[in-house]
Each structure stands twice: as C-alpha cells, then as structure tokens.
C-alpha cells in the first residue's frame, strides 16, 4: 500500500487535503504531520509531530511509516513572512530542501510542493499572466517560492525526483481558517457576513486577485499527482486559475444571499503585497497537460460556503 506523508497538515490547505486523501486511500494510509496539534477537520488517522527544519525527523518518519508519496505544505505565508523574513526563508527554503533531499535518498515515488502567484513580479503582465512570465518577486515569500520552483526543477533534472507543483492563487474554504496570507480577507468575510456584522477589509475595494475555492484546489492537487509522469511538461510549477475578483465583487456576491451585508475598506500593509500580484492567470498548460478545469464560479462558491455555515440558516429563518 502507498503510504502518504503530509507536512503542515494542520494548516488551511493541509486539513482539507488530509481529509480528502484519507477518504480516497483510507485513514491509515495518510500520515498527517505538523508542529501544531491535529484538528477534527483532518479526519481520523495517524498523526506525528514533525518539524520540517529537522532533516533527521523527516528521515525517521519516512522510514517508520514506509512513505512513498509526500505532500510538503509546511510554510510561512505571504503576510506573516513579511513580518518574519529570517524564519520565512529558513522554513520555506530549508524545509523544502530537506524534503527534496529526503525524497531523493529514500527514493520517494512522488512529491508535491505548492508555489504561489507571488512568484511573479509586480510589473509582469497583470491580466492573464502567462506560464513563463518574467519572475522578479517583490516579497520574501515570493522569493522563496521562485527559488523553490527552481530547486524542484533541479532535483527532477539532476536526481530524477518526481516532484510536481502548482502556483496556487488565494485559497478560500469554510472548514479551516487561513494562516496569515494576503487573501485571508476572502475567508473572513463569509464568517462576518453570517454573524450579520459589518466587515472591514484590509485591501482596497477594487484590488482584483486570482482566487480558488478549496474543493477546486484539492482536486487540482490530487489530479496533478495522479497524472502520468510523461504528461507533466512543467517541472517548476504550473499556473492554475479559477476565479478572479475584488473585495467589492465578493461583497456583491454575498449581498445576493444576505442583502443587508455591509463592507468598508481600511487598506493596511497587505495592500502593497496584493498590488504586486497578477489580476488573473493563464493556466492553458495545466488544462492541456492534465485536463485541469475548475468547477466553482464566485457565486457558486459563495452559495456553497454560506449554506455550510450554520449561522447562515439562522438569518434565513428570521
Ligand atoms: P497554513 O499557514 O494554514 O499552514 C501551514 C502549516 O505549517 C501550519 O499548520 C503550521 O503549524 C505548519 N508549520 C509551520 N512551521 C512548521 C515546521 N517547521 N514544520 C512543520 N510544520 C510547520 O498554510 P496553508 O494555507 O495551509 O498553505 C499550505 C501551503 O500552500 C504553503 O506552502 C503555502 O505557501 C501554499 N499556498 C497557500 C495559499 C493559501 O491561500 N492558503 C495560496 C498559495 C499557496
């Protein structure tokens, strides 16, 4: 049986990916790891404390559980990384290199590692940013993602490690809370809306960013990992896109379900980060190579999220 190791499994993406992989492969096949404590969203199954900055711990867990596939998610996200640049570099880069070396030495079959849209540069083509756009990132997070993409391509070219990657846009879900990214507002806004509280947004109202519903992100990740090796033409990281919207547009979408919803704007330091990112992404290579296609539009995502937050039904009942 293929045993799967997930690092950073307690995070926003890790919790949902762990639960999905456990549904597909069975609870015991998925070893969730993190420096934090496990949460109920991850489902039941084995959990180990693992600090990805400690290579001996990685080797020990790979050996103990006979791991053959790794999803390496542990990282410091964009907004937090700007506050702690040394930790961001040590964790995002050191953790990835530890995983890549462990994968090479233990002959792991497949590795997944996420990059992100901040690997692009501020003055790149902002609409429909192409796969091979120039990359001069403006943040330490973006620098770490760009360098990580090149390390992945290097380990594939030099050592034959089958590592695959996606440049995720902002990920939005309702099951787990975000961990310090610049697109976190698009998760928080739904929780405030169902509490019938006004929402103060830390981005300007017309700041359009590429986003994706969590179900689409999990599907893209699993589809990429299931694709035959010969179909993978990008060994740095694939562009993927789903929806692009501004705070004003997500607020309009919420108002279709909760007409009294109120939003105001108080941009902070995260506005500068967001301003350096693309508005939308061209993902034609992912669509061509492994048939990527998102399922959720903005309004479909809004409806799905609201209907899964119990407080929404209290508003409807009034
Ligand atoms: P998150 O911040 O919610 O979770 C990260 C997890 O890593 C946390 O549970 C944390 O405890 C863990 N962690 C921190 N330091 C660790 C260490 N030394 N060893 C092991 N675990 C450690 O992040 P997320 O949103 O789940 O993101 C997962 C990955 O996806 C990251 O690589 C991130 O850059 C990428 N990504 C996320 C988004 C998004 O919108 N969430 C967008 C683009 C890319």
120-150 residue pLDDT tens = 776 778 899 999 988 888 899 999 999 999 9
User: What pLDDT does residue 78 have?
Assistant: 87
Residue 316, pLDDT > 90, answer no
Residue 179, pLDDT > 90, answer no
Among 202, 207, 191, 212, which residue's Cα sits nearest to residue 305? 191
Q: Where are the alpha helices (DSSP H) in 1-77?
A: 12-25, 55-65
Task: Provide residues with CB under 6 Å of ligand 1.
Answer: 7-8, 10-14, 34-36, 50-53, 73-75, 77, 91, 114, 116, 168, 170-171, 178-181, 183
Q: Which range, of 16-20, 82-86, 124-128, averages the lowest pLDDT?
A: 124-128
* pLDDT band of 75, cuts 50, 70, 90: very high
Read off the pLDDT of each residue in 203-217 and give the average, rounded to a whole number.
97
The dihedrals phi and psi of 4, each to the nearest 5 degrees, come to -110, 130
> In whole angstroms, what is the distance from residue 79 CA to residue 121 CA?
16
> In whole angstroms, what is the distance from residue 291 CA to residue 191 CA?
33
- Residue of 71, 141, 168, 185 with catalytic role: 141
Question: 87: CA distance to ligand 1 center in Å?
Answer: 13
Tell me the sheet residues that pair with 210: 244
Q: Which range, of 52-66, 80-94, 244-258, 268-282, averages the lowest pLDDT?
A: 268-282
Q: Is-catalytic flag, 238?
A: no
- What does each C-alpha distance from 254 to 167, 199, 244, 257 come to in angstroms? 27, 12, 15, 5
User: What pLDDT does residue 122 have?
Assistant: 67
- Please identify, by atom number, the ligand 1 atom nearest to the C-alpha of residue 13: 26
Tell me the sheet residues that pair with 238: 166
pTM of the model: 0.95
The CB density around residue 168, as the number of other CB atoms within 10 Å, is 25
Read off the pLDDT of each residue in 296-302 and give the average, rounded to a whole number.
98
Site to substitute for ligand 1 among 33, 39, 75, most atoms within 8 A of C-beta:
75
Question: 262: CA distance to ligand 1 center in Å?
Answer: 30
User: What pLDDT does residue 5 have?
Assistant: 98
Question: 4: CA distance to ligand 1 center in Å?
Answer: 17
Share of the chain above pLDDT 90, in %: 88
231-289, pLDDT tens digit by residue? 999 999 999 999 999 999 999 999 999 999 999 999 999 999 898 889 999 999 999 99
Rounded to the nearest angstrom, the gap between the alpha carbon of residue 129 and the centroid of all alpha carbons in its chain is 18
The mean pLDDT of the chain is: 95
Question: 49: CA distance to ligand 1 center in Å?
Answer: 15
């Amino acid at each position: 049986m293929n045993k799967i190791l997930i690092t950073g499994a307690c995070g926003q993406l890790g919790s949902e990916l762990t639960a999905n992989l456990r549904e597909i492969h069975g609870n015991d096949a998925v070893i969730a790891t993190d420096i934090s404590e496990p949460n109920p969203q991850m489902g039941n199954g084995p959990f180990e404390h693992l600090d990805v900055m400690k290579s001996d711990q990685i080797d020990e867990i790979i050996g103990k559980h006979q791991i053959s596939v790794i999803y390496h998610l542990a990282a410091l996200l964009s907004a937090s990384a700007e506050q702690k640049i040394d930790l961001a570099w040590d964790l995002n880069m050191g953790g990835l290199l530890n995983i890549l070396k462990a994968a090479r030495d233990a002959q792991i079959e497949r590795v997944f590692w996420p990059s992100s849209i901040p690997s692009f540069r501020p003055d790149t083509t902002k609409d429909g940013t192409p796969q091979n756009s120039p990359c001069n990132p403006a943040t330490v997070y973006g620098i770490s993602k760009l360098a990580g993409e090149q390390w992945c391509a290097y380990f594939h070219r030099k050592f034959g490690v089958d590592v695959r990657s996606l440049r995720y846009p902002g990920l939005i879900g309702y099951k787990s809370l975000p961990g310090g990214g610049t697109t976190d507002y698009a998760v928080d806004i739904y929780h405030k809306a169902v509490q019938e509280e006004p929402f103060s947004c830390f981005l300007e109202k017309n700041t359009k960013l590429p986003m994706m519903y969590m179900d689409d992100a999990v599907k893209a990740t699993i589809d990429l990992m299931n694709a035959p090796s010969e179909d993978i033409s990008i060994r740095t990281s694939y562009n993927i896109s789903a929806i692009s919207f501004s705070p004003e547009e997500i607020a309009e979408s919420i108002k279709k379900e909760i007409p009294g919803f109120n939003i105001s704007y108080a941009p902070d330091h995260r506005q500068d980060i967001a301003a350096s990112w693309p508005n939308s992404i061209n993902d034609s290579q992912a669509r061509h190579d492994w048939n990527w296609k998102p399922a959720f539009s903005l309004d479909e995502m809004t409806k799905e999220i609201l209907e899964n937050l119990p407080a929404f039904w209290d508003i409807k009942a009034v």
